[in-house]
Chains A and B, each alone.
Chain A
Amino acid sequence: MPWTLHLALRQLFPRGRRFPAFAGVSILGVGLGVASLLVVQTVMNGFGEEHRLRIRESFGDVVAVGAGAIERPEALALALAGDPAVRSAEPYAEGPALARSGDFSSVAFVRGVRPADPDLPARRYVADGSLDGLDDGRVALGRGLARQLRVGVGDRIEVWAPAMAERAERGRAPLPVELEVCALLRTGFTEVDDRAALVPLRRFRELWGMGERAHGLTLRLRDASGPSAEASAARLEAAHPGVRFRPWTAIKRDFLEAIRFEKTMLFFLMFIITLVASFSIGSSLFSAVIRRSREIGVLAALGASPASVASVFAVQGLLIGGLGTLLGFALTWAVLAGREAILAAINALFGDGDLVGQVYQFGFVPLHYEPWDFALAAAFTLLTTTAAGLVPALWAARRRPTDAMRDA
C-alpha cells in the first residue's frame, strides 16, 4: 500500500476512535445523495417500463388500422401472420358502453377479443375467475370497474352499447344485454382496471352492429424492441397499401416522452444533492488541510513531493466518494426493498390512500434496475468528491513548508 493511501486512511479512520466523525458524516452524506438519485431513477425507469408494457399489451407491438373499420380483418390477419417478423395478428374492436348493476352504473371501455388467442395479455392479470369461460353470455371486468358496479364473479351486469340507440330511433325498445361476470382483472394500471371490459369479438360485433368488420388488428412481433417494431411497421405499411401500421413506440409517444423528460429532470435535481454533499466534503477537507498545516510542513521536511502531499488529501476525497457510493447502493436496495411500506406511509400521510395510483396510474411502485444509471451515479459521485478533495489538496501542495508550519 503506498504511504499516501496509508496516511489518508489513517486520517479518515483514526485508530482507537469509536466513530470517525468526519469520515462517517461525509460518507453518509454522499450515500444519501447517491441513494436519492438511484431510488428516483429506478422507480422512474419502472414507471416507464410498466407504461411501455401496458401500451404493448393493450395495442400490440404494432397496431394496424384503416381509414375506417377494416372490412375483411380475418383475411388480413391471415396475410400478416405469414410475415416472418409477425408472431400473431388478431382483429379487435373496442368502444365505450354503459354498464349497470342494480343501482350502480359506470362507463366501461369494452374490447372485443378472440378468447382462444394464446397471446391474450389479459390472461396474465386474472385476479379472480377464469377467461376460459369467456363466451357470448359472459364478460371479464377490470377489478376497479367491478368494484364500482358492486359485482363479483358469477354476478350479472347489463350493458348498453351506443348502437342500441339506433333501435330506439326505429321505434324498438333498446333492451340491454345481460352478461355474467366470469373473471376479474387486476393489471395495477388504474386506467385499465377502472374501465376495462372484455367480451368475445363476435359478441362485440353483434352489439355494435359491425358485421364482419373490426376496428383494427393487434400484431405481436417476434422481436418487439422499439427499433424492430418501427422497422416492421414501415415494411408492413409498404406491403399493405390502405392500412396504417403504428409501432408501439408511436402510440402515446408524448406520454412516454413526458416520462423520459421527467426522469432526466429528476436526475439533475437529485444530482444536486450529491453535489451539495461534495461541496461539504470539499469544505471539510479544506478545514482539515488548514488544521493539518503543520503535518503538511513535516511531510515536506521528510522529503515528500508536492504531488505526494496533494495525493494524501485527494485520496481522502476519492475514498469518501467510493465508500459513499457503495453505501448509496446499499441504501438504494434497502429503500426499494421496503418501498411498499414506505408508499403506504406516504399515502397515509399525504393522500386519501392511493396517491401513487392517482398520479401514476399504478397500484404499486414498479422498478426497473438500469446498470447504466448506477454506473453514471458512481462516475458522477467519484468525480465530484475527488474534485472536492483535489482543490484543497492542490492548495496544500502549493504551500511552502515553512508557511504551513508557521500557520499551524
Chain B
Amino acid sequence: MTMLEIKNLHVRIEEEGTEIINGLNLSVKAGEVAAIMGPNGSGKSTLSYALAGRDGYEVTEGEVLFKGENILEMEPEERAASGVFLAFQYPVEIPGVATINFLKAAMNSQRKARGEAEFTTPEFIRTVKEAAGSLNISMEMLKRPLNVGFSGGEKKRAEILQMALLQPQLCVMDETDSGLDIDALKIVADGVNALRSPDRAFVVITHYQRLLQHIVPDSVHVLYDGKIIRSGDKDLALHLEEFGYADIIADAA
C-alpha cells in the first residue's frame, strides 16, 4: 500500500515569494523508510513544513496524498490526528508548559479528533512511563517545561517519545541527527527502529549519511533545487558520503 504520494509538488515561502519546492515527486510505501538527502538550501525543511501544513508555506501546484487522501487542505492538527508526524529539526522551547501536560494534551486532542475515548490519567501515566523508559527519559525530565533547558539529545529524545506515544503512520523526520553526539544518535535511532513496522512509513530527511548507518533506509532520494534528482537504495547514501553531491547534480543538469 502506498502511504505517501507526492505529485509534482510546488511550494512557495510566502514571506520570501520564492519557490523552494519545484515539481517534487515521491512515493513511499507502508513499511518503507525513505531517506531524503540533499545539500543545504535544497528544500529539505520546506518539504517537511509543507507536509505538516505550516502557515506561510504555500502549495502552488501538485498534490500530497496520504493513504490516498489529499491532505493539502487540512490544518496541521487535522494532519496530526490523521497520522502525520513531523519530528522537528529544532524542537521549540515552550516555557510554562510542563512536558507531561503537553503530552497528555497532544494525545487526547488526537484521540478526540478521531472520535476515540480520551486517556484517563492512570492509563496515560502508564503509557508514558513505558515509552519514556526505553528512551532513557526520566519522569523528572517530563515535569520540566517542554524542551526548556533540554540538551540537544534530550530534545530529540523527547521528539521520539512523542512519536512513540502518538503512534503516527507517517513520520517525517527533519534532520533529526543535527546537534546529536554519537551516543544520543544511537538512542534516537534505536527509538526509531523500534517503531518501524509494516503499517508505518518514515521520511528521514538528513544532510549526512551517518544517521543512515543506524536507521537503514529502504530507499534514498537526492533532493536538489526543490526536486528529487536521483533515487536509489541505501548504497546511494554511501556514494554521496564518499563523493558528495557534485556528480549527481552535474548529471541532472
Q: Do A and B come from one complex?
A: no
